[in-house]
Amino acid sequence: QKANVVELLKKYGNQRVRVCAIGDGGNDVSMIQSADVGVGIVGKEGKQASLAADFSI
């Protein structure tokens, strides 16, 4: 569902819209991958989000 929000923003936003998604768990991986820029946070929920991201914190 989170990835769907990113896709809707990209589809219905104007052409200059860039989407950045920030996540910290495995359930955020699809959202991070579908965004133009993905940021993964390493934390209690593991490293899946940071491994799928463009940038990791």
pTM recorded for the entire structure: 0.89
pLDDT in tens, 25-40: 999 999 999 999 999 9
Q: Kindly state the DSSP code that residue 47 receives in the 8-state scheme.
A: S
Asked if residues 38 and 55 have their Cβ atoms less than 8 Å apart, the reply is yes
Residue carrying structure tokens 């950045």: 20
Partnered with residue 43 across adjacent β-strands are 46
Among 12-16, 21-25, 44-48, the range with the most confident prediction by mean pLDDT is 21-25
Q: How far apart are the first and last CA of the chain?
A: 24
Does pLDDT of 44 surpass 90? no
> 1 Cβ partners below 8 Å, 6+ apart?
none
48 close to 31: Cβ distance less than 8 angstroms = no
